[in-house]
Structure 1
Amino acid sequence: MTLHKIAVVVLSFALGAASALAEGPYRNRDAKNPRDLGEGTYPVPYQRPTVPEITEALGRVRDYLDRVSPLRIEDRATGKEITDFSSPVKTARVDDGKAGNGIISYEMGVVYSGMLYAAKVTGDTRFADFVERRFTFIAQHLPYFRAVEAKFGYQRGDFFKAIAPRSLDDSGAMCTAVVRARLAGVGPDLQSVIDTWADWIAHKQFRLSDGTLAREHPQAQSVWADDFYMGVPALAELGHLTGERKWFDDAVQNALGMSARLYDSSTGLYTHGWSANNPDAPHFYWGRGMGWTVVAMCDLLDVLPADHPRREAVLAQLRAALRGVAQYQSGSGFWHQMIDRNDSFLETSGTAMFTYAIAHAINQGWISPVVYGPIAQAGWAALSTKIDWAGRVEGSVVATNYAGDQVYYYNRPVHFAALQGYGPMLLAGAEIIKLMQNPAFEIRFEGRTYDYVPVKGAAAPR
C-alpha cells in the first residue's frame, strides 16, 4: 500500500466515520462479546450510530460543497471573472465549480432544503449560513441577469431558471427551498422569485386533463415519479407560506393523481414513468424515482392541515409505499438501482431518500418504530460508508431519463459529482439524528439484533 493510500485510510478513521475508501467488513461495537455476532462480520456497520458521528459526517458534506461551489460570475466565452456589472455580457454565467454544482437547479434545491433541515436538527448555524450566502448572492446578482435578458433575450444558465423558468426542474425544488428559507428567516427577501416559480408551476407547466403535472417530452403526456418532488412540495410550501387552501388542494390532487398512474399495488412500488399514449407499458422500478415520491409525500404531510379532507388518503398512500420499499432493502442496508432487481448495483441517492422517509415517518408517528426503526438504522449504516474523508458522497447515479428498457437503467454511471445524492444524504442524516434522540422508544441490542421498544406515555418529537 502506498503512503498516500495509508494517509487516506488513517484520516478517514480520524474523522470518526467509515470512508468509502475503507469499507468493511465491520464488527458490531454494541455486541457484548464476539459470540453475539454469530459466525461472521457485516458488510456495513451493523450498529447504532451516534449523534456526534452523524453530525460530523454531515459537516464534512457541507464543507465539501462549500469548497467546490464558488460564488463567482464569469464570462463563459473567456472563462474570466466578471466584476463590472454596469454593462450586461451575453455570455455571463455562474461559475459552476469543480463539481458542476451551479447555484440554481433542482439538485441544489434539495441541497438547500437538506442544509436548512440539518441546521434545525443539529443547531449548527453553519448549515444555514451555506444557504444564506447563496441566496444573498442570488439576490445581489438577479438585477444584472435581468438586464442580460432584457438586452439579449433568454440565455441558458442558472439565473434564467429564476427569471424565465421553462420546466418543473427549473422551478419546483428551488421554490420549495426558498420558501422554507423565508419561513425560517434565513437569507434575503426572494419573494419575487418565489412568485415567478409559483406562476410557472400553477399556470404554465403542462398538465393532464385532471390537473396532474406532466411532461410532453420525451414521451407525450407522461407522468414522472421525479415530478412528485418537483411539484408537490412546492405547492404544499406555497400553501404553508400563504395560508391559501388552493395550494394544498393542488398538492394533494397531484400526489394522488400521480400515485393513481405510477403506483403498482402488486409490488408495492412506483414505476418510474407513465404515458397516456402507452398506459400498459412495462414497469421499471427505478430507485431514486421512487425516492422522490416518498420524500414528497412526507413534505406534503408535514404542512398539510390536519383537517384537510384528503389527508388520510395521502397518509395511507405513504404507508403503502414505505411498506413496499422496505421489503426490498438489500442485506447491506442499501437499496438497488432497480429496486426489485438484485443484480442491479447498490445506489446511494435512493437509499438516502428511503432512509430519510422511513425515519421521518417514524418520528412523526405515522408508522411503527418497532417495525421500521431497524430498517432506517440499517439504511444510515450503509450510507455512512459512502461519505468519504473529503465529504464527497459516492455511489449516486447521475441524471436519468424516463426510459423504456432495463438496459438503460442498469448501465447509468455513478459518480461523486452526481449532486442528486447530497441533499438526500443531508436529509437522511438529520432525520436519523432525530431518530436516535426520539424519546418515544428505547433502542436495545438484544438477541443479535436491534429492537425499538416504545416508551409508555412518551411523545415523539415534531
Structure 2
Amino acid sequence: MKKNIKQGYSVLVLLICTMTFTSCKVTSQETASKDIVISKDMKWSDKMALTIMKRHPQAFMIDDAKTPKWDYVHGLVLHSMEELYKKNPDSRYPVYIKGYVDALVQNDGIIKSYDLDNYNIDMVVSGRLLFKIYENTKEEKYLKALQMLRKQLTEQPRTASGGFWHKKIYPNQMWLDGLYMGEPFYAEYTTVFENGKELDDVAKQFELIQKHATDSKTGLLYHGWDESKQMAWANKETGTSPNFWSRALGWYAMALVDVLDYFPKQHPKQKELVGYLNSVSEALAKYQDKSGLWYQVTDKGNKEGNYLEASGSSMFAYAFAKGANKGYLPSKYKKLANKAFDGLTKQLIKVDADGSITLTEACAVAGLGGSPYRDGSYEYYVKERKKDNDPKATGPFILAALELNR
C-alpha cells in the first residue's frame, strides 16, 4: 500500500513539474513576444521581421500554423531572416530560425511531416536553412536531412525533356513556382558538397521553362507548362496555362537571382541565366503600374476584379534590386525596385499602435488543377482569397528591403 502511495506521489510531483515547466516555457515565449519593441526609426526589414516574431513567438507558427510543419513558406520567411542577420546581427534571428529547424529535424535526421514519396518540390526549399546550421554545429542530423532532400531531387520524376515535375500528383508539369522551390537548394547543395557537378542540370530547369512557358508577344512566362498537353487548363498546342500570374513570375525571377549566386562568371551557363533574368525583367517593367506595383494578373491591369498585389510586387522589387546590385541587370532596375518598394510602403502597409506592420492585398494561394479544380482562368486568379501579412509577401518584402537598404 505504502509503495502504491509513494508511486502515486512521484507521478503527481512529475506531473506538477511538467505542467510548471510547460507553463514557464509558454510564459517565457509570451514574455519574449511582448518584449519585442518595434520603433519608428527601424528599417523596414527589421520592422517586418520583428512583427513576424511578435505575432508568431515560435517560428513554426508562421502562417498561423498550429503545429510544426515542414513547409515552403517557413523556408522563405526564415531565409529572409538569415539574410537580414548578415546585415543586422541581432541574435534573436538565428535563434528563431534554429527553433523552427529543431522542431522538425529529429536526431536521426528524419524531418517530421515530410514525405519523400510525395515528390513535392515545394518541400525542398526549406532545406536552405540547414546549410548554415550544419556549418555552425557540424551535427550529423542536419547533414542527414540535407542528404534526404538531395535524394528527393535525384529521384524526382521528370518530364521527357528532363524537367522536374512540380509534384507526383501533377505529372509532366513544370510550374514557375517550382524553380524557386527546388533550384536554389540544388545549386547550393551541388556547390557545397559536389563541387558544382550538377549546375548544368540546375540551368537545364530554367532552359526548359524559358523555352516552353515564354509568350513571344509579351516576354512574360505562363504560370505552368504541361508537356503532355493533357490537362484541361493546358493549351493544346503549347501546353501552357492561360494566364500570367504575378507571384508565379516572382518565384521565377527570385529563383534566377538566387541560383546565380552559385554560378561562377566563367561557367558556360551563367551568361544564359543572366539573359533569362534580363528578358523577364524587361517584360515585367512594361507592366509596372504608376504606383510602382504590379497587378495580380500581370498583363490585365484595367480589367474588372484585378488588383495591385503585394507578394508579386515584393518579389519583383527583390529580384530587380538584387539583379542590379550584382551587376546582372542595368542600374535602372534599382530605381524600378525602389519605386515598387515605395508603392508597397505607401499603399499596402498599415502600421499598428505598437509599431508592428501589416502588408495587405496579398493573394493567399493559387495553383493549377487539383481538387477543387483550378482552371488558370482570369476569374480564378482574381477571386482567390487574400491574406494580410501572408508569408509569401512578407519574406520577399524583407529581402527587397535588404537589397535596397531600407
TM-score, normalised relative to structure 2: 0.77
Q: 1:187 to 1:418 in 2, by over 3 A?
A: farther
Establish whether residue 289 from structure 1 lines up as the match of residue 232 from structure 2: no
What's the offset of the Cα at 1:176? 2.3
Amino acid at match of 2:364: V
2: distance between equivalents of 1:187 and 1:328? 46
Partner of 1:304: 263
Q: Which runs of 5+ in 1 are unaligned?
A: 1-13, 17-51, 73-93, 147-157, 437-462
Q: Deviations 1:109-130 (Å, cap 9, x if unpaired)? A: 1112101111112343433332
Q: Which stretch has the larger CA shift, 396-405 or 213-222?
A: 213-222
Q: 1:293 to 1:95 in 2, by over 3 A?
A: closer
Relative contact order: is structure 1 or structure 2 higher (C-alpha 8 Å, sep ≥ 6)?
Answer: 1
Establish whether residue 202 from structure 1 lines up as the match of residue 154 from structure 2: yes
Q: Deviations 1:178-232 (Å, cap 9, x if unpaired)? A: 225545x3896611111111101221x2211222112467654111011010111
3-state secondary structure, aligned to 2:174: strand
3-state secondary structure, aligned to 1:64: helix
What are the residue-to-residue correspondences of 1:398-413 with 2, within 5 Å? Answer: 398-402=364-368, 403-413=375-385
2: distance between equivalents of 1:15 and 1:69? 18
1: distance between equivalents of 2:152 and 2:313? 31
3-state secondary structure, aligned to 1:246: coil
Amino acid at match of 2:321: A
Amino acid at match of 1:321: V
What's the offset of the Cα at 1:255? 1.5
Q: 1:68 to 1:97 in 2, by over 3 A?
A: farther
Equivalent position to 2:164, from 208, 213, 216: 213
What are the residue-to-residue correspondences of 1:44-443 with 2, within 5 Å? Answer: 53=42, 55=43, 57-71=44-58, 98=64, 102-139=68-105, 142-143=106-107, 159-161=112-114, 164=116, 166-183=118-135, 185=136, 190-203=142-155, 205-215=156-166, 220-278=171-229, 279-281=238-240, 283-342=242-301, 343=303, 344-369=306-331, 371-385=332-346, 386-389=348-351, 390-402=356-368, 403-416=375-388, 418-433=390-405
Q: Deviations 1:390-433 (Å, cap 9, x if unpaired)? A: 23332211121123311101111111253211211111111111
3-state secondary structure, aligned to 1:274: strand
Q: 1:270 to 1:367 in 2, by over 3 A?
A: same
Q: 1:129 to 1:95 in 2, by over 3 A?
A: closer
2: distance between equivalents of 1:387 and 1:398? 16
Identity %: 22
Q: 1:100 to 1:351 in 2, by over 3 A?
A: farther
Amino acid at match of 1:194: L
Q: Deviations 1:263-322 (Å, cap 9, x if unpaired)? A: 223212111011123235553100000001110011111111222211111111111111
What's the offset of the Cα at 1:102? 4.5
TM-score, normalised relative to structure 1: 0.68
Q: Which stretch has the larger CA shift, 393-402 or 284-293?
A: 393-402
3-state secondary structure, aligned to 2:225: strand
3-state secondary structure, aligned to 1:314: helix
- The 8 Å contact of residues 61 and 387 in structure 1, kept in 2 or not, is answered as no
What's the offset of the Cα at 1:15? 4.6
2: distance between equivalents of 1:281 and 1:136? 40
Q: 1:303 to 1:67 in 2, by over 3 A?
A: same
Q: 1:379 to 1:416 in 2, by over 3 A?
A: same
**Alpha-carbon RMSD:** 2.7
2: distance between equivalents of 1:191 and 1:300? 21
Q: Deviations 1:232-283 (Å, cap 9, x if unpaired)? A: 1111111222143333122111111121111223212111011123235553
Amino acid at match of 1:410: V
Partner of 1:86: none
Q: Which runs of 5+ in 2 are unaligned?
A: 1-37, 230-237, 369-374
1: distance between equivalents of 2:404 and 2:145? 32
Q: 1:15 to 1:394 in 2, by over 3 A?
A: farther
Q: 1:211 to 1:137 in 2, by over 3 A?
A: same
Q: Higher helix proportion, which one? A: 2
- The 8 Å contact of residues 239 and 247 in structure 1, kept in 2 or not, is answered as yes
Q: 1:215 to 1:255 in 2, by over 3 A?
A: same
3-state secondary structure, aligned to 1:119: helix
Amino acid at match of 2:337: A
1: distance between equivalents of 2:268 and 2:344? 37
